[in-house]
Structure 1
Amino acid sequence: MSSVAGPSTPSRKRSKWEGDAEEETRPASPVRRVKQKVTQPPPTSSSNSNPGQHGSAPPRARSKFVPQRNHHPPILSSRSVYSYERLNQIEEGSYGVVYRARDKDTGEIVALKKLKLEEEKNGFPITALREINALMTCRHENVVNIREVVVGDTLTQVFVVMDFIEHDLKTLLQTMPAPFLQSEIKTLLLQLLSAVDHCHENWILHRDLKTSNLLMNNRGTIKVADFGLARRYGDPVGVGGLTQLVVTLWYRAPELLLGATKYSTAVDLWSVGCIFAELLTKEPLFQAKNEIELISMIFKLLGPPTHASWPGYSDLPLAKSMNLPSPQPALFRQQFPHLSANGLDLMISLLTYDPAARISAAEAMEHPYFKESPLPKHPDLFGSFPSAAAGEKRKPKMYKSPTAPRAADYKIVTEFDIT
């Protein structure tokens, strides 16, 4: 080794990912190349070119349900995150940090979501795999578009690249001077229902619908984002059922609050009903501090559940230890005095106790509320607003909603807490 120092080059932290890549691209040794050049003798008449010929080897068995090897798409390496120029941080959630960035090749502005992998001990998290799979499955004009997955210097630096949208609905509701018009609310609600119906048609539950996860551009189009809690559903549901640690508290359906481990698309529709109410009043419908307070607020608005309004209520794990208040009528009309009769009927259909009786997204899109005056406004006629995500003028937030549930630091309600 020479003692003369060569020209200095900037050092960069090397990762195992890069080491694996170098091993794959390193030229083969001369001995290996010689072995590869050895060819087999030409087949004779007794070779196995004709499987039916006597003495030939039997064909290799292969399932008819498995396509040929050459039918699979090629596996390509992910691009580097350094293909993008970081501009600013947009927000940080339970499962990732979102940045605004610029593609250095095309100049396009995108959103980069860095997955939180630093504390993972069991490999790549299933929540991230579900999110990427759900976004790739649910291609829809009202679902945020995933472009690619890029990587950084280490195995914990994985980014999901998505289209950049100027606003999230929560921030927009807090900063806009007046609520949306009825015609605009109908347009936004129809777009949300269309996206939810598309997800459900593809057997995907979002399980965290809320205004901060609804993005809106300056052309009146909203897109459902943040599929960190999404998963495929159907039969069988798996050992132990589905977890109840889903949906941000203020938008969580009553069956989840009472410990249901078998649920379906109705949990998303309850969240849609809460979003509908928030669009009308600019305030979340149930601003509870904990599950017990949320259950009390739901009982106050809808009245306590009965066997008629919720036939399966008594079978839920926490129902028997629940002390129900005295019967009282629902307070929907007092809560939404300016909503039309059809609008109130849609609200009640979304915020229904019995999940089996709760309206579906496809049925909700055909509701008479969307056919009465004023009709839904065309998205191009919406006004534009300064984009907080792009670093433009921002006003202080008036309230802070709870984050999505994370199993590592979450406490489930028990019978002891209720009694």
Structure 2
Amino acid sequence: GVPISSLREITLLLRLRHPNIVELKEVVVGNHLESIFLVMGYCEQDLASLLENMPTPFSEAQVKCIVLQVLRGLQYLHQNFIIHRDLKVSNLLMTDKGCVKTADFGLARAYGIPVKPMTPKVVTLWYRAPELLLGTTTQTTSIDMWAMGCVLAELLAHKPLLPGTSEIHQVDLIVQLLGTPSENIWPGFSRLPLVSQYSLRKQPYNNLKHRFPWLSEAGLRLLNLLFMYDPKKRATAGDCLESSYFKGKPL
């Protein structure tokens, strides 16, 4: 037997063909039926180990170049009704020519309309959107876009943005950074299954500007759009690709 998660991953990857998505060339079987190998396109490194080992961090121009490539891959996934559900720097690979590819589709799911319930225990904690932490049962492409915001912020700051140690701590870090969510800014917030389990601190301010004082207005606007509490208002990959941040200096 092959685990259902592996079958899902294989089926998805065989369908996907995009320069910014890791390529599954074929599935081969070794001497025994249980030795099954996925033959993938080769990428020399992943961004997480690169970030750890680089003598100087990526420049802002390089960050833009990386993020644009991830966004193009995400736009392609979302147009094909696939949510990645585990976007983080260690799942972004880079070839020696500087091509960035999104990898690890073990948690990815195809979705339809209407959206069916899925397990909320997805996305590595530091990149997990608030609606997942608060127990939403429906997932849309906006959970990838929240994770994209965390990746962009991490590349800009050279360290993870919201390194929570538990789900409660994670929610608290989000509130400290973005302010306390409410029905006004996030309709349906008070009806989320786990809201009653958290006592959220009263934090009236959004502190993104304090965290990134040197970032341009366009850059802050892009981060704020990716970090909208209301998933319906969160920027899509297409919106981000049009952002003036990528058209301003440094190019």
- So what's the TM-score if we normalise by structure 2? 0.97
Contact 2:86 2:124 in 1 (8 A): yes
Is the Cα contact below 8 Å between 1:252 and 1:267 reproduced in 2?
yes
Indicate if the aligned counterparts of 1:149 and 1:158 stay in contact, CA closer than 8 A: yes
Conserved 8 A contact 1:179-1:281: no
Aligned to 1:137: 15
Give 5+ residue unaligned stretches, structure 1.
1-122, 376-419
Q: Mean Cα displacement is larger for which, 159-168 or 228-237?
A: 228-237
258-267 or 327-336, which deviates more: 327-336
Structure 1 equivalent of residue 201 of structure 2 = 325
The 4+ residue runs of structure 1 with deviation greater than 3 A are none
- Which structure has more relative contact order (CA 8 Å, sep 6+)? It is 2
Superposed CA offset, 1:126-176 (max 9, x none)? 211111122122210001111111122333321111011011000001111
Alignment equivalent of 1:306, drawn from 133, 158, 182: 182
Q: In structure 1, what residue type is equivalent to 2:183?
A: H
**Distance in 1 (alpha carbons) for counterparts of 2:169 and 2:200:** 13
- Report the secondary structure of 1:209's partner residue: coil
What is the Cα deviation at residue 209 of structure 1?
0.4
Answer yes or no: is 1:214 the counterpart of 2:92: yes
Give me the whole-angstrom Cα distance separating, in 2, the residues matched to 1:266 and 1:173: 26
CA distance in structure 2 between the aligned counterparts of 1:300 and 1:232, rounded to whole angstroms? 33
1:254 is aligned to 130
Question: How many residue pairs were aligned?
Answer: 251
Q: Residue type matched to 1:150 in 2?
A: V
Measure, in 1, the Cα distance between the counterparts of 2:34 and 2:131: 36
Counterpart of 2:50 in 1: which secondary structure? helix
Equivalent residue for 1:166, pick from 21, 44, 59: 44
Give 1:184's aligned residue.
Answer: 62
Which residue in the other structure is 2:154 paired with? Answer: 278
Question: How much does 1:221 deviate?
Answer: 1.0
* Aligned residue type for 2:222: L
Does residue 1:371 correspond to 2:242, yes or no? no
Aligned counterpart, 1:205: 83
- Identify the structure with the greater helix proportion: 2
Q: CA deviation at 1:236?
A: 4.3
Q: Distance in 2 between matches of 1:310 and 1:202?
A: 27
Task: Report the alpha carbon displacement of residue 328 of structure 1 after superposing the two structures with TM.
Answer: 2.1
Q: Distance in 1 between matches of 2:114 and 2:216?
A: 41
Decide whether the 8 Å contact of 2:46 with 2:94 is kept in 1.
yes
Any idea what SS the aligned residue of 1:288 has?
A: coil
Q: Which sits farther off after the overlay, 289-298 or 132-141? A: 132-141
CA deviations 1:344-384 (Å, max 9, x no partner) are 11011111111000000001100110111111xxxxxxxxx
CA-CA distance at 1:289 after TM superposition: 1.2
Q: Which runs of 5+ in 2 are unaligned?
A: none
| 2:192 corresponding residue in structure 1 | 316
**Deviation at 1:125?**
1.7
Q: 1:264 matched to which residue of 2? A: 140
Q: Percent same amino acid among aligned pairs?
A: 48
- Map 1:97-112 → 2, pairs under 5 A: none
Look up the match of 1:234: 112
Q: Distance in 1 between matches of 2:184 and 2:245?
A: 26
User: Structure 1 CA distance, aligned partners of 2:215 and 2:161?
Assistant: 15
* Partner SS, residue 34 of structure 2: coil
- Structure 1 residue 321: Cα displacement: 3.2
Per-residue Cα deviation, 1:7-32 (whole angstroms, up to 9, x for no partner):
xxxxxxxxxxxxxxxxxxxxxxxxxx
Contact 1:251 1:274 in 2 (8 A): yes
Structure number with bigger Rg: 1
Contact 1:309 1:354 in 2 (8 A): yes
Structure 2 contact 134–192 (Cα < 8 Å) conserved: yes
SS in 1 for 2:39: strand
Q: What's the CA shift string for 1:94-127, capped at 9, x where partnerless?
A: xxxxxxxxxxxxxxxxxxxxxxxxxxxxx32221
Q: Aligned partner of 1:197: which letter?
A: Q
Give the residue type in structure 2 aligned to 1:367. Answer: S
Which letter does structure 1 place at the counterpart of 2:133? L
SS of the equivalent of 2:25 reads strand
Distance 2:104 2:152 in 1: 19
Residues 172, 200 of structure 2: 8 Å contact kept: no
Whether the aligned pair in 2 keeps the contact of 1:174 and 1:282 (CA below 8 Å) is: no
CA root-mean-square deviation: 1.1
Letter in 1 for 2:152: F
Aligned equivalents of 2:184 and 2:115: distance in 1? 28
